[in-house]
Amino acid sequence: MIFVPLPFVVALLLAILLIRMLRQGDGTLAEKRPFLLLIGLYVLQSLVIGVRWGYDVIEVMPLQSLIATTIAALAWVCFKGLAMEEQPTLSRFWPHLLPTATIAVFIALYPEPISLAIILIFLGYGTALLWLARHGPDALISSRLDGAVLSYRSLKITGFALIASAVTDVIIGFDFTRTGGIHASAIVALGNVIALLILGTAASVASGGSSVEAISAEPPPPPPATEEDGAVAAALDTLMRTRQLYRDPDLNLARIARKMNLPARRVSTAVNRIHAMSVSQYVNDFRIRAACEQLVGTDHPITQVMFDSGFISKSNFNREFARMNGESPTQFRKRRVPGESGGATSNVVFMSR
């Protein structure tokens, strides 16, 4: 019987996820590239862990350490890129190559601090990701609003997973100290299955390459609104209604802010305080109302209605539709269009804000 280490199975699942992302057409390759590279590193790391703990090949441990630190830094770069108006370049993030370079120096000259260094690196980047998430979904101003909430949840999941990985390393070190590493392989196998699958899915979702159902994330409770907040929110309402910006499937907070000649944070703060919701929910509300009008007023297929309203993900469309109306688009149309289900047309409340 051929022995296949469990991490190899994880690597296969992540590789399938990577192929699916490459084949999907939503978004540009340039936008996805950092996340594609990140998932590729997850695949490589899972293979290396399988070789190390499945076949007890200790020679791959230096490579495992280098990949681990690169993953932590690249995860930060990927999500930080979503929080910037322009796509980041490698030159801008070159300092994040230093952790990997430091580990390489330790490997060559002084191996003893490697484990502690990796733990500190994972804790540092995990904490930085959670700090980035403190402003809610609107922190990711370059994330497409169709999936901004999912990207935000992926950001938090990745931050927690990096911290959990650091804690796992501490547990493994403790196991080696107390028992000589009797339980280490089991800890690594279980941790690898959970962490890498979660991280891979999170990276896929954040890049727009997957449609995973999620519970909407709300921004933190806002302070009282000011007159300036009201003016910004009113201007945005007018912009949405007159120019129908919400129909742009690639719309993000950065684009809205540029059209209003305001900082992105100023726009998101006004929406949070006036409407008590994130910008992604605000825009998706416009999209769902437009979809409702088409579902009642036209015989267009639901998929066409979805695209015309600004959504590109069926799961996101269905989730947001259910959030606002408590039912699916199909059920909504059947209950409101005469002849669809034999019922009378009900009052349409989605026309006004």
Q: Write out the two tokens for 208.
A: 């727009």
Would you state the pLDDT for residue 184?
Answer: 60
Q: What is the pLDDT of residues 11-51, one digit of tens each?
A: 888 888 788 777 765 555 556 778 888 889 988 988 998 88
The candidate with the shortest Cα–Cα distance to 336, out of 306, 296, 301, 302, is 296
- Residue 23 neighbours by CB under 8 Å, 6+ apart: none
- pLDDT for residue 97 is more than 50: yes
Angle of CA points 340, 344, 348, to nearest 5°: 95
CATH classification for the domain delimited by 228-336, as one of 3.40.50.1010, 2.40.50.100, 3.20.20.80, 1.10.10.60 = 1.10.10.60
Mean pLDDT of the chain: 81
pLDDT confidence tier of residue 303, bands split at 50, 70 and 90: very high
Q: What is the pLDDT of residues 127-169, one digit of tens each?
A: 999 999 988 888 888 888 877 877 888 888 889 888 888 888 7
Give the Å distances, CA to CA, from 307 to 216, 218, 290.
21, 25, 11
Question: Of residues 345 and 302, which shows the higher confidence score?
Answer: 302
Predicted structure pTM score: 0.79
Q: Write out the two tokens for 96.
A: 């994040």
**308 CB-contact burial (10 Å; exposed 0-12 / middle 13-18 / buried 19+):** middle
Would you state the pLDDT for residue 316?
Answer: 84
pLDDT confidence tier of residue 55, bands split at 50, 70 and 90: confident
CA–CA separation, 269 and 257 (whole Å):
12
The candidate with the shortest Cα–Cα distance to 311, out of 331, 335, 290, 328, is 290
- pLDDT for residue 83 is more than 70: yes
- pLDDT for residue 349 is more than 80: no
Can you tell me whether residue 52 is helix, strand or coil? helix
CA–CA separation, 138 and 277 (whole Å):
10
Residue located via tokens 């605000």: 282
CA–CA separation, 139 and 281 (whole Å):
14
Residue located via tokens 């927690």: 160
Residue located via tokens 């639901």: 302
Contact 19, 56 (CB under 8 A): no
- pLDDT for residue 293 is more than 90: yes
Q: What is the pLDDT of residues 182-218, one digit of tens each?
A: 666 666 656 655 666 666 666 656 555 444 444 444 5
- Residue 263 neighbours by CB under 8 Å, 6+ apart: 257
- Residue 329 neighbours by CB under 8 Å, 6+ apart: 291, 295, 302, 305, 306, 317, 318, 321
Would you state the pLDDT for residue 195?
Answer: 65
Would you state the pLDDT for residue 128?
Answer: 96
Mean pLDDT of 319-326: 89
Helices (H), the chain: 6-23, 29-49, 55, 61-82, 98-109, 114-132, 148-179, 184-206, 227-243, 253-260, 264-275, 279-297, 302-308, 314-325, 329-336
Contact 229, 270 (CB under 8 A): yes
- DSSP secondary structure code for residue 93 in this structure: G
Mean pLDDT of 245-250: 90
pLDDT confidence tier of residue 348, bands split at 50, 70 and 90: very low
Q: Write out the two tokens for 6.
A: 């469990």
